[in-house]
Amino acid sequence: MADKPKEEKKTEEKPQAISRRELLVGAGTGVAGLVIGGAVGYGVIPKPEVPSLALPETWIGRNIASCTGCRFCQVACSQIKEKKFQPGIARVTVQMYYPGVDFPVLCYQCGDNAKCIEACPTQALSINTSKKNNTIAVDTTKCLRTAKNGDCTLCLDKCPGAAVTFHPTTKAPLICDLCDGDPACTKVCPKGTIINKGVKMAAVSPDQIAAGLAEAYKVPPPPKTSAIPQDALAMAADDADIG
Amino acid sequence: MAKIPGYAGQYLEIDLTSKSIKKVPLDQNLARYYIGGRAMGGKILLDAYGTNWGKVDPLSPEALLIFNTGPFAPFVASRMNVVFKSPLTNGIVGSHVSGDFHAEMRFSGYDGIIVKGKASSPVYVTIFDDKVEIKDASKWWGKETKETMELIMNEYGHQTSQLYIAPGGENLCKIACVMADWYRAAGRGGGGAVMGSKNLKALICKGNGPAPEVADQKKVDALTEWTRLNSAIVRQSTHEYGTTAGIYTTGNTRSSEPVKNWQSEWHDQKQIQGVYFAAEQWVRRYWADMCCTVACSKLGRVKYGKRAGQIAELPDYEAGALEGTNLAVYDISDMVFLTDLPDRYGLDLISLGNVVGWACEAQEKGILTAADLGGVQLKWGEADGFAKLMELIAYRKGDIPKLLGDGLLATTKKLGKGAEFAVICKGMELGAHGTRSLQDKDELGYTVSAMGGDHVSTVIADREDRFVADSTGQCTFLGLTRDQEVEILQATTGFGITKDELEKQLVYRWTTANRIPLLLAGWTYKDDVNPPRFYEPLPDGPYKGKFTDKTIEETKKQAYYKSQGWDTQGVPTTDTLKKCGLDAFDGALAPLRAKA
C-alpha cells in the first residue's frame, strides 16, 4: 500500500520568514541578481548557531534562485542508490513551496543535535562516524517502519527542514548521505543549483522557504533601462521557434 | 501482465457513473502500431465509437476522456496528450501538455487513464502508486486555477502533479482547457468542457515507483544524458527566451502574427522584443519540467505601471500574439495581465484570444453592440475591455458571451453573421501563425490537418509530422534529430521501428485513422480550406498585397490526398483502409467518396 505523499508540517504561528538578506549570499550581484534570475550563491547565511561537533567535509550547497525543477538530481540519486530511474526513492526532493518556484530539499546535516536522531523512539537513527561525512545512518533492524512494518514518521515530523522521505517499498527513512563525499546529484544539476561546495546552512522549513520567496519576489524592480546588450537582441532575433 | 518494454503495461479505466476503477492491461498490438499519446488515444476513441462517431455527443457521459503518454516519458523532456472527441471540431483532438502528471502516472504504473461516465456530483481522483480513489470535490468546484492549486497543495503537499479544470471547463465552455500544475495547459479543442461535463474537477498523481523497464537501459540512459548536456545548447534561443521573442519577430520579420483579428499580420512594436520581457519582467528565468534542461518556461512579474505585481507565466508566443498583438495590445504589462486571465479561468488562450478579437471586429462592424457584451465596448489596444469580456465568457454571463464561450463556429452559425472574419479551420480557432506571407505556414498546412486550426500539427508537404512527437510523448523543444528520436524509440520499446516505417507507414496509418472521424462528423473536402480572411491581401508590411492562393492550395491539397491514399474528395480509398487495418469503416465512407 502506497503512502500518501508526505504531508507538510503545519506550523502553529505565522512562519518566521528568512529575511531577504539571508536568502541571498554575496555573489556581488545583490538584490537585482535574484530577480533577474542569475545565480546568486550557494546557500543561505545561517543565523549563528552552536556548531555541531560533526560538521561534514562535504556540503551540498543549494541555490534557491536557480532551481529549474528538472529533477535530474532526483534521477541521479535513484540511479546511484538503486540503479533505477525512480525519483520517488531519491534522498533529494524538488518541491514547489511557492507557486512557480522549485526548491531542492535534502538533509541539512544537522550533526549530533539532529532532531531526527532525538525523535526516533527506538534510536534507529545515529551519526555514522565510520563515514568521513558523519551523515545520518538508519538502522533498519530498529526502525519501526522496517522492523515492525509500522507507520511511524517521527523523524520526518521533527526534521526542521522536512527533509526525510520514505522508501515506497521498503518503507525505510531515506536521508542523504552525501554519497560518501562524491554526491551524484551535484554532477548532473544543469544550473548549479545543487553543487558540491558552499557555506553550510541551517535547516529551513517549507513555510520559511515559502515566506522567504514571497518576500524575495517583492523586491523593488531595478531601474528601467534601455541598455540591452546587442548580442541579446541578436539572439532573440534568431528565434524561429514555432510556439 | 505481460511486460512490454517502454511501457508500464497497464491503463486505468475509471467509470465515474458507477464509480468503478479498473486496471486494464495494455494491448501489445495497440502499442506496436499506435505507440502512444495522440495516435493511441485516437485509436481507442475510434474503436469505441466506431461508425457511430458522428452521433456521439462529446459532452455526454458516454464520451471518453483519455490521458495518454508515450514511451519517451519520462526519460527525456516529455509530454502527454489529452485525447477526446472535440466539441469544437467533432474530430479527434489530442491536446499536448507538459507538467509532470504523465511522469508521475508512469511512476505509479500506468501508461494512461481512460475516463468515462459522469459523476453525480463534483469529484476528483487521486492516483498514488497503486492506490486510486474517487473523492468529493464539492468544496473545490467553482475555484479558479490558483485557488484550486492551493487547495490541492494544502491537502496533498508540494510533490503531486495534477490536471484540473477551472470555471471555464466547469461551465462547459467549448473553448475550455485542461490545466496542469502551475500555468501549464492542454489548451486546444475543448478538453476542459469534456472534463467538466463529467463533473471531474481534478486528477492528482504522485508515483514513487520506477520508470518502466526499457529494451536497452544503457542506450536510454546515454540518450537521457545527451539531452541533459546538449538540449539547452542546441536550443539556446528557446532556453534563453522561450518562444517569447517570437512576439516581435513573427510579426515584424515573418509577417504572420495576428494583428486586430488577423486584419493585418505585421507590426513594428519594438518595445515587445523578447529582451524587454527578460529585463523588465521575468523573475524566474529557467523553469523546466521533469528531465528537461531547455527550461523554456519563465515566470514573469510585472514590475512597473498599472499592472505592477501581476504574476503570469512568460507570456509565451501564442499568448503574446493572441492576447497581445491580435488585440493591438502592445504593452508588456498589459500582455502579462491578459495572458493570466485564460490561465485563471481555465480557457484555451489561443481560442479565447481569437474569440475576443473577433468580438471587437464584430462591434466595429455593428454586428454586436455594447449591450451584447455586458456593456463592454471593446477597443483595440485597451486591455481592460477585453479582460471584462473574458470574465463574462468564463462565467457565461449573457447570451452572447455564452455563445462566444462555445467558439467562433458556434457563434457565427447562431448569429448568421461574421463568418467571413472568423479565423477558424474545422471549428478550431487558429494558432498565431498565418499563411499569407508564406514565411510561416503555407497554403496547405491547416486545410488538411486532423485538428483543423491547431498550428503545431499543420501538414507539411506529405506528412502531418506532429503525430510523431504527439505519440512518442516527447517535447519537440528537445532539439533531437529524427534519427535520435528513432534511436530513443528503439531503445525504449525494442519494437525495431525504423525511420522509414515511422514516417511512411505509422504516420500514414494515424493520418487516415484521424481523417475518418472528421468525415463521419460531417466535414467534407469543401471544408479543407483556409479561413476566408487568409484569401484577403495583407494590408501592410514587407509582404503587403500577398494572400493565400487558392489554386496552389488546391494543387497541394490534391497531391496530399493522393499521398495519403485518399480520393479526390479526401476520402480514404478501400485499399488504404485495408492497409491501415481500418476496413471496418469502408461501408460508412463509401457514400462520401468521389463519384467515378
pLDDT digit string, tens, across residues A127-171? 988 877 889 999 999 999 999 999 999 999 999 999 999 999 999
Which of A6, A100, A241 minimises the CB distance to B157? A6
B65 and B167 share one domain: yes
**What pLDDT score was predicted for residue B149?**
95
In a domain, A118, yes or no: yes
Q: How far apart are CA B450 and CA B513, in angstroms?
A: 9
Q: Smallest Cα–Cα separation from B468: which of B40, B6, B4?
A: B40
Any domain includes A20:
no
Q: Which residue has the higher pLDDT, B162 or A25?
A: B162
- Is residue B384 within 8 A of residue B354, CB to CB? The reply is no
Q: Within a domain: residue B353?
A: yes
B517 located within any domain: no
In a shared domain, residues B65 and B196: yes
Instruction: Please indicate if any CB of chain B lies within 8 Å of the CB of A241.
Output: yes
Domain that holds residue A158: 45-204
- Judged by CB atoms closer than 8 Å, whether chains meet at A85 and B74 is answered as yes
| Span A71-92, pLDDT tens digits | 999 999 999 999 999 999 999 9
Distance from CA of B202 to the nearest CA of A (A): 17
How far from each other are the two terminal CA atoms of chain B, in whole angstroms? 50
| Residue B550 DSSP code | H
Which residue, of B400, B422, B444, is where some domain finishes? B422
Nearest CA-CA distance, residue B398 and chain A, Å: 33
**Nearest Cβ partner for B243 among A3, A228, A243:** A243
Pull the grid cell for residue A109. Answer: 546535516
ipTM beyond cut 0.90? yes
Q: How far is A44 from chain B (nearest CA, A)?
A: 19
Residue B20 domain flag: yes
In whole angstroms, give the CA distance from residue B546 to residue B4.
52
Kindly report the average pLDDT of chain B as a whole number.
96
Q: Given phi > 0 = left and psi -120 to 50 = alpha, else beta, which region is B427?
A: left
> 532575433: which residue's cell?
A237
Backbone angles phi, psi at A165, to 5 degrees: -120, 170
Out of B390, B422, B454, pick the residue that ends a domain: B422
Cβ atoms of B83 and B113 within 8 Å: the answer is no
At residue B476, the pLDDT reads: 92
SS3 B337: helix
Calculate how close chain A gets to B211, using CA atoms only, in Å: 6
Please give the C-alpha separations between residue B589 and each of B526, B562, B572, in angstroms, as whole numbers.
Answer: 16, 17, 8
Strands (E), chain A: 61-62, 93-98, 101-105, 125-127, 136-138, 165-166, 173-174, 194-195
What is the value of pTM for the model shown? 0.92
Residue of A nearest to B245 (CA): A236
Q: Report CA Rg, chain A.
A: 20
pLDDT at position A220: 58
> Average of pLDDT values for B196-201?
98
- Residue A224 is predicted with a pLDDT of 60
- Joined together, the cell numbers standing for residue A113 give 543535535
Give whole-number Cα distances, B8 to A88, B36, B83, B255, B346, in Å.
16, 12, 19, 45, 30
Chain B nearest CA to A211, separation (Å): 15
How many domains does chain B divide into?
A: 2
User: Which one of B160, B209, B283 has the shortest CB-CB distance to A168?
Assistant: B209
Is the CB of residue B295 less than 8 Å away from at least one CB of chain A?
yes
- Minimum mean pLDDT range among A56-65, A230-239, B23-32: A230-239
In this complex, the residue of A84, A217, A236 whose CB is nearest that of residue B210 is A84
Q: Distance (Å) from the C-alpha of residue B201 to the closest C-alpha of chain A?
A: 20
Of B245, B287, B289, the CB nearest to A239: B245
Does one domain contain both B313 and B198?
A: no
Single-letter code of the amino acid located at B168 = G
Q: Are residues B192 and B255 in the same domain?
A: no
Put simply, whether B290 touches A (Cβ < 8 Å) is: yes
Mean local confidence (pLDDT), B7-24: 97
Q: Are A239 and B208 in contact (CB < 8 Å)? A: no
State the nearest Cα–Cα gap between B594 and chain A, in angstroms: 36
Q: Closest to A235 (Cβ–Cβ): which among B156, B182, B240?
A: B240
Chain B residues whose beta carbon lies within 8 Å of the beta carbon of residue A75: 224, 291
Contact yes or no for A235 and B290 at CB 8 A:
no
Residue count (chain A) = 243
Cβ of residue A72 closer than 8 Å to a chain B Cβ: yes
A216 located within any domain? no
Interface of B with A in 30-89 (CB under 8 A): 74-75
Is A50 domain-assigned? yes
- Give the Å distances, CA to CA, from B515 to B68, B91, B469: 20, 8, 18
Could you tell me if A154 and A120 are in contact, meaning their C-beta atoms sit under 8 angstroms apart?
A: yes
Amino acid, single-letter form, for residue B390: M
Burial pattern B127-150, b for ≥16 Cβ within 10 A else e, equals bbbeebebeebeebbebbbbebbe
Find chain B residues with C-beta within 8 A of A70's C-beta.
288-293, 295
Q: Are residues B153 and B298 in the same domain?
A: no
Alpha helices (H) along B157-253: 167-170, 191-197, 217-234, 236-241, 246-252
Q: Does B283 touch chain A (CB under 8 A)?
A: yes
Are B304 and B196 in the same domain? no
Q: How would you classify the pairing of strands B200-206 and B161-164?
A: antiparallel
Q: How many domains does chain A have?
A: 1
Q: Do residue A239 and residue B316 have CB atoms under 8 angstroms apart? A: no
Type of residue numbered A226 = S
Selection from B421, B358, B320, B342 nearest residue B373 by Cα: B358
The CATH number of residue B387's host domain is 1.10.569.10
Residue B97 has pLDDT above 50, yes or no: yes
Q: Please give the residue range of the domain that contains residue B175.
A: 10-206
Distance in angstroms (rounded) separating the CA atoms of residues A38 and A18 = 20
CA distance A173 to A143: 8
Q: Is B304 on the interface with A (CB under 8 A)?
A: yes
A221 touching B, CB under 8 A?
yes
Q: How far apart are CA B489 and CA A37, in angstroms?
A: 35
CB atoms under 10 Å from CB of B276, counted, come to: 21
**CB within 8 Å: B237 and A236:** yes
Give the pLDDT confidence of B284-321 residue by residue, as tens digits: 889 999 999 999 998 887 777 788 877 788 789 999 99
Q: Tell me the C-alpha distance between A11 and A133, whole Å.
A: 31
